Amino acid sequence: MAKSIRVLIADDSSVTRRIVSESLSREADLEIVGAAQDGEEAIAFFKAQKPDVVLLDVDMPTVNGIEALKAIRKLNDSVPVIMFSTLTVRGGEATLDALAAGATDYAAKPTGVGHLDKAMSYLKQEVVPKVRMWGSRYKLRLEKGAGIAPPERVQPSRAANASRGTSSFTVTAPKAPPAATMPPRRRSGPVNCLAIGASTGGPNALAELIGRLPRDLEVPVLIVQHMPPVFTQLLAERLDRGSRLTVKEAFDGAVVRPGEAWVAPGDFHMVVTRQGTETLLRTNQQAAENSCRPAVDVLFRSVADVYGASSLAVVLTGMGRDGTIGCQALSKCGAGILVQDEASSVVWGMPRSVYEAGLAESVLNINDLAAAITTRIRGANSMPAAFAAR
């Protein structure tokens, strides 16, 4: 098997095709096997070349990116397909549609492609690593006799929520961490805040999780999803349409209330602060953490400071370690911490890091997280005050 990762590019812009092809070709381990100008040509190239990764433009003539994606998925349901889109409302909507239709990941197109050096630098930092990571994973699985296994399919949110809102749930138990690093026993008491962190694969996981939460959840929900500006607003709108909760993109000074969910805006960190009797959201553009802004660690640390033991954190699918340091702060003050399992994660990076640090109380399938969260919140918040204080 060839050592290089074979990449198919599809974009209707000849300038973009040239710049992307040149950028990827500079990498010794990447090989361009096709540069299609529309979706129809991309499908033909895919059949002929059988690439390891597809970098697919969202908006193309004849056959658009989503239609091409669906055709590719019929031919191969595991090859990594990275959607390549502009940072616009139209591009963001199409990207979220593509992720829901089976795209593996997405990357934003460089702005100002007329500035070659700037565009090439962006591609090397932001796009090449994704192509390399997904291509390497796919080739490794092929060498072992299997493609990249897609995450477990989930059931429709509303029907599942109605029938499973308070049902039992399944805990996936990987090898336990050393006893010395096991999380401390969580103090009994009410839950006043639910904080969620996600990255790669997060939009679909969030849609599933938020869509199953009940209207009367009784606590605010704070969400960090690694996404650029515009995309986070569109994500919040989609979550709002598919949820019983009210979901909005956060803004500086927003008042935090039970039954509302807030998504951190792209390129801004989000934190909670106390001001008198109110809890407010604050956004800032301080330095990125874990190469991310917004960062899960930033939100989680502020939740630990404001809510302490009365908070519950959830870490969903995502690449890297963002959220681990924040979970350390939450664990120290007695907060609850749940993580998504490997089987239902697109990338078991962030949840795995929290688990291997000995900070997670439970490792749960995405199908079961909402029931576990609801049970925890309703159970803790319905305890008599005298018992809860123990």
Residues 277-327: tens digit of each pLDDT: 999 999 999 999 999 999 999 999 999 999 999 999 999 999 999 999 999
- The answer as to whether 151 is a domain residue is no
Mean pLDDT of 28-36: 96
Mean pLDDT of 46-54: 97
Which residue has better confidence, 297 or 385? 297
- The answer as to whether 318 is a domain residue is yes
| Whether 168 and 86 share a structural domain | no
Element spanning 339, H or E: strand 336-340
The closest of 90, 30, 47 to 65, measured between CA atoms, is 90
Q: Is the pLDDT of residue 232 over 50?
A: yes
Helix (H, G, I), strand (E, B) or coil at 193: strand
Q: How many C-beta atoms surround the C-beta of residue 272 within 10 A?
A: 23
| Whether 70 and 104 share a structural domain | yes
User: Of 105, 226, 345, 368, which is the active-site residue?
Assistant: 226
Q: What is the pLDDT of residue 2?
A: 53
Q: Is the pLDDT of residue 383 over 70?
A: no
Beta-bridged to residue 116, according to DSSP, are none
Q: Is the pLDDT of residue 165 over 80?
A: no
| Whether 118 and 164 share a structural domain | no
| Whether 178 and 130 share a structural domain | no
- The answer as to whether 152 is a domain residue is no
Q: Is the pLDDT of residue 72 over 60?
A: yes
pLDDT level of residue 242 (50, 70, 90 thresholds):
very high
pTM here is 0.87
CA dist., res. 251 & res. 357, Å (int): 32
| Whether 301 and 243 share a structural domain | yes
| Whether 113 and 165 share a structural domain | no
CA dist., res. 308 & res. 301, Å (int): 10
| Whether 139 and 174 share a structural domain | no
Domain boundary among 95, 111, 143: 143
User: Of 85, 157, 199, 345, which is the active-site residue?
Assistant: 199
Give whole-number Cα distances, 292 to 82, 148, 319, in Å: 19, 26, 11
Element spanning 297, H or E: helix 296-307
**Sheet hosting strand 362-364, strand order edge to edge:** 246-249, 260-263, 221-225, 193-198, 311-315, 336-340, 362-364
Q: Considering Cα of 126, then 131, then 134, then 137, what sign does the dihedral take?
A: negative
Q: Is the pLDDT of residue 16 over 50?
A: yes
| Whether 192 and 49 share a structural domain | no
* Number of domains forming the structure of the chain: 2
| Whether 196 and 325 share a structural domain | yes
- CA 353, distance to chain mean position in Å, is 15
Mean pLDDT of 218-238: 96
Domain boundary among 85, 110, 143: 143
Q: Is 322 a catalytic residue?
A: yes
pLDDT level of residue 152 (50, 70, 90 thresholds):
low
Q: What is the CATH number of the domain that holds 92?
A: 3.40.50.2300
Q: Is 115 a catalytic residue?
A: no
CA dist., res. 335 & res. 390, Å (int): 15
Judge contact between 245 and 238, C-beta under 8 A.
no
Q: What is the CATH number of the domain that holds 347?
A: 3.40.50.180
Structure-token pair, residue 347: 């990338």
| Whether 135 and 165 share a structural domain | no
Q: Is the pLDDT of residue 244 over 60?
A: yes
- The answer as to whether 150 is a domain residue is no
| Whether 203 and 85 share a structural domain | no
- The answer as to whether 148 is a domain residue is no
Structure-token pair, residue 130: 């994704």
- The answer as to whether 359 is a domain residue is yes
- The answer as to whether 129 is a domain residue is yes
Domain boundary among 118, 143, 168: 143
Range of the domain at 355: 157-388
CA dist., res. 59 & res. 75, Å (int): 21
Q: Is 226 a catalytic residue?
A: yes
Q: How many Å from the N-terminal Cα to the C-terminal Cα in the chain?
A: 62
Q: Is the pLDDT of residue 158 over 70?
A: no
User: Of 11, 12, 297, 322, which is the active-site residue?
Assistant: 322
- The answer as to whether 290 is a domain residue is yes
Q: Is the pLDDT of residue 114 over 90?
A: no
Q: Is the pLDDT of residue 157 over 50?
A: no
Q: What are phi and psi of 294, to 5 degrees?
A: -75, 155
Q: What is the pLDDT of residue 198?
A: 98
pLDDT level of residue 178 (50, 70, 90 thresholds):
very low
| Whether 274 and 327 share a structural domain | yes
